[in-house]
Structure 1
Amino acid sequence: MKNFRLNFAGRRCRRPSRESGIGLIEMIIVVTMAGMALLIAVQLVRIISGTTSKRDDIGLQDAYEALVGYAGAHAMLPASDSGWLPRSLTGNARGNRLRYHVASAVTQVPSVVFSPSSNLAINSPGLNFCLSLAQIGPGAQIQVGSNGTGVPALAVLEYSSSGATADSASGVALPGSADAAMQSVQGRVARAISSPELFSALDCGERLSRAAAAARYVDISTDLLALAKLNTQHWKNAIQNGYAGQANAAVSVSRLNSWEALIIADMVILQIMHVGRMPWTIPAEFAYMGVVAGYTSTLIQIRAQRDVVNSTIDDWINRDLPALEIEAARAAATENSYAAALDDSRNELLRFASLGLSQ
């Protein structure tokens, strides 16, 4: 009995030590879970902060794309609404309005005109805007950046989750700078738009290039058509000169015929006079024969010259005129071809001008 009590008492004495060990394990578990919860909370804060920043960046990108779309439709950027992006355009991802500073030079109709052809004037607002983007100087742009880090830009967008934004472009931290990194921690993000960036976003390079190529085609076609017209006129003049030459040849034949008739008439009179002087003497006969020989020689020359003129007329009618008409027809066909090419090139240039920034 005594031994039993001792054993029972020993068991009861060891029980508090067992309960103390279980409490320590539970404490370790609690501390571990608290640490894990803290890590998860920190990670969630980072995720939420990153998501918010990403949403803000998406909002700026949406606004940028809206500005590009506006420029494509109106050939200019919208004016700011008292320093804010117009409500008609998208804000940031949470619907808040964005600060918007823009150069006045790109919010109005450009003063420059893109008309690359010297033979066909065009005035396309879209192409004019593209040309103005290529030619705009730093003095006509806004200066984006604080603390002396300003660079020229066409426009700048800014959003702040804390509510504080810059009243001017010079107060906006230059994107990518140390100031911008510091402000991003405060929830301020910005997006600048440069002239080369907008020029590229609107495909201005391709639009101006294809219009310039069409203008060059117009100028070349105009020159070729002018040369073709000169060539056609050359062959027409050749035909007209040929007809004029044939008219002169016909006059020559008529004169030769008259001359021949006159010589024959003189010979007849001479023969009558010769018969009336019988009896003939030898000296008189020699004189008579000399005159007859002279008349005969003259007749031979007249007829030979007339044959030459008639041969020339025949060659003109049967050979030269058909050849000239063929060349004139070819020249006219070439002229028509160049005229059609000029019409095509003019229509192409006018089409590019009418498209502007739409396609």
Structure 2
Amino acid sequence: MKRFFAMITMLTLTLVLAVQPAAAAAKFPDVTTSNRFHDEIQFLVDKKIISGYSNGSFQPKRNVTRGEAAIMIGRTLVLDGTQRNTKFKDVPKTYGASGYIAAATEKGIIGGYPDGTFQPNKSISRGDMAIIHSRGFDLQLGSKRDFKDVGPNMKASQAINHMAGNYITTGYPDGTFRPNELVTREQFAAFVARGLSPEFKQRTQMKDGYAYDLTKTYVYGQSDGDLHVTYKKVSTKFAQVPFTGFLWEFKHSGTGKITYLAQDESERGLMLVYPISSGVLELAYPVKINSTWQTGYDMEDRKTITGVNKTVKTAYKTFTNAVEVTDNDGMKNYFVKGIGSVKVIAKSGETISELKSIQ
């Protein structure tokens, strides 16, 4: 993958892309391990995707311009950055980012203003960043997470929703996304790293949640063979609609059947989602004994928390902190924090599925 950070401001500092491997791997004096996004920045440096300035700094708090954003997303997606004419009157061929701006425009990732300008030196907002990121990575999964300052009629609302659904953003602790705030270089680096790696997506997960760990593979024993559950990037179709992105792959070793699903965890609870379709609320939050909820569109389909801190024996290990969820048919599903579903038992007492290993 090509490197993608280059400083394009016409009148000020010039970003120098690293050429030597040693320079690319160097740590920045202004990005210490105490920086929240240190690992994400270093990940992109090690992959030779980004670099810093000629004085050795990264300037993590510096705002990202629209031109820089075009370069960042362009080099991430390996677009043609050869300088050339653009459709914008303020972006001539001689402008450093002209090639990436032209390429990203042709792909429909970015756009200009009604007056025919692109305004490459204007700082980009979090809302506009979400739109560029969503289009660039072709994000197609939304989230049930609600941001207090993101309304349904907002231009960036769908893009922000897709960002949340793909574990790229969680917003701020106060429940806001702050779409009008400007994006810094460290924030943009974090968003790109999460778009590329499940390791960094995992860091956006709820600390005390019940979702699967995005970096692990789960193996469940079933009567007709093992079920392997892995989070991976796939290219497939749903109802004849092309899809490329990260999903949970449920692959059955006995039948060979493969099913792709998404998992969405928000303040509402843990939901299993069928892409380009509906979802099922598997566990409602807060976890409380006798809590009952409607699982999906079917008004009659309900689940109830019938136990907490339950002891459940599986082939993998014995858990003493499982949450027991019982559905209308008497089937029980057990969930454990930081792991997810560990065992499913039919009303008859027969084990339908149980965790065998986590790899």
Q: TM-score if structure 1 supplies the norm length?
A: 0.18
Question: Max radius of gyration: which structure?
Answer: 1
Greater percentage in strand:
2
Q: TM-score if structure 2 supplies the norm length?
A: 0.18
